[in-house]
Amino acid sequence: MNDLTYVVTSSRRPDPELDRQARQWAERLDVPFVPRAGRSVARLCRDERVDAALTITAERVTLRIPDEEVEYFFHPSMARTRIRNIIDGMGDPMVTAMQLRAGDEVLDCTLGRATDATVASWIVGEDGLVVGYEANRLLAELTAHGLATYEIEGPGVEEAMRRIDARHGDCREILPTIATSAFDVVYLDPFFERTVEQSQAMQPLRRLGLHEPIGDETWEHARRVARRCVVVKRRRDDEPLDLPGVIGVEAGGGSRVQYVVLAPT
Ligand SMILES: C[S@@+](CC[C@H](N)C(=O)[O-])C[C@H]1O[C@@H](n2cnc3c(N)ncnc32)[C@H](O)[C@@H]1O
């Protein structure tokens, strides 16, 4: 994503209000606003010599990369289904790994589209706290906007989304600045380099997200910041990794995923 160039535009049909919103997005993201002028996104990108365009339409905000046929927009993915499973007594392996309960404070270091954070926020409730950091600026803005505006049915799901404190930042820089034992749980779900991700839903996120490795120092800061545990999500195809202080592993749904639990220091 860091090498991806893009502009902000609005819908094909002229609409002054959408143009106004698009200008605001452009200002916030510090990229040019370009009037759509009836052009297709592919044509607009060619004309402007950029890889992608963020389109602000009445329906949603979407990043389109025409040459790669990639479209990314916020949606909460499996969050509602997982919450429904919890309500139905089937549990959730991430929640089990975290030993999560009402009132807990969770730091999500790799927020992405905040699916995991939404499930965590639903569990910790109004008395708890979920703070999430996303390293990619555009993803962070899209997730913060989606969490604040996305409408979804399901008991307490929308409220759980609204309560998440979504921020832009690289956890490798943020964690060292956070006080010791500041959160019950510190959560990391980074992309591991050798992952062969099967999920179609994850592909656009993989295209945009940060892929830099998490180094030893960051794992140690995560353990320092956690009161109860650090939980690391891994997929079956992820590269082998020697994580420090492992005290447990919780198998995820369908066994493609596992949650590795690290002790605090
Ligand atoms: C696998 S996705 C996380 C998905 C997330 N758990 C969810 O439920 O939507 C990884 C995300 O973490 C972000 N990321 C990777 N390294 C990061 C870092 N050092 N600090 C903050 N975010 C990071 C990526 O940009 C990407 O959006």
- Which residue, judged by its Cα, is nearest atom 12 of ligand 1? 110
DSSP code for 238: S
Instruction: Using 50 as the pLDDT threshold, list the residues of the chain that sit under it.
Output: 1
CB neighbours of 96 closer than 8 A, spacing ≥ 6?
Answer: 250, 259
Residue 197: its pLDDT value, please? 53
If asked whether residues 102 and 231 sit together in one domain, one would say yes
> Residue 249 C-alpha to ligand 1 middle, in angstroms?
20
Q: How many domains does the chain have?
A: 2
Q: Kindly tell me the burial class for residue 248, based on how many C-beta atoms sit within 10 Å of its own C-beta (0-12, 13-18, 19 or more).
A: middle
84 with 101, same domain: the answer is yes
Would you state the pLDDT for residue 98?
98
Q: Output the pLDDT for position 236.
A: 77
Query: Secondary structure of 109-122 in the HEC alphabet?
Result: CCCCCCHHHHHHHH
Distance between Cα 170 and ligand 1 center (Å): 9
Q: State the amino acid at position 262 in one-letter form.
A: L
Same domain, 116 and 220: yes
- Positions of E strands within the chain: 6-9, 52-56, 61-65, 70-72, 105-108, 129-134, 165-168, 183-188, 226-235, 246-251, 257-262
How far is residue 136's CA from residue 21's CA, in Å, rounded to a whole number? Answer: 21
* Atom number of ligand 1 nearest to Cα 112: 27
Q: In terms of domains, do 88 and 206 share one?
A: yes
Residue 241: its pLDDT value, please? 79
Residue nearest to atom 15 of ligand 1 (CA): 210
CA of 110 to the centre of ligand 1 (A): 3
Question: Which ligand 1 atom sits closest to the C-alpha of 209?
Answer: 25
Are 111 and 143 in contact, with CB atoms under 8 Å apart? yes
pLDDT in tens, 180-231: 999 999 999 999 766 555 555 568 898 999 999 999 999 999 999 999 999 9
- 137 with 98, same domain: the answer is yes
What's the CA-to-centroid distance between 30 and ligand 1, angstroms? 22
Is 13 in the same domain as 129? no
- Return the C-alpha torsion angle 137, 138, 144, 148, nearest 10: 160
CA quadruple 214, 219, 222, 228: dihedral sign: positive
Rounded to whole angstroms, the Cα distance separating 221 from 88 reads 36
What are the strands of the beta sheet with 52-56, ordered from one edge? 6-9, 52-56, 61-65, 70-72
CA distance 17 to 228: 48
Claim to verify: residue 111 and residue 16 sit in the same structural domain: no
- Residues with CB under 6 Å of ligand 1 are 109-110, 112-116, 133-136, 139, 170-172, 189-191, 205, 209-210
Residue 246 domain-assigned (yes or no): yes
The values of phi and psi at residue 186, to 5°, are: -110, 130
Question: Whole domain around residue 119: which residue ranges?
Answer: 79-262
Q: What is the pTM of this model?
A: 0.95
Q: What is the CATH number of the domain that holds 92?
A: 3.40.50.150
* DSSP character at residue 265: -
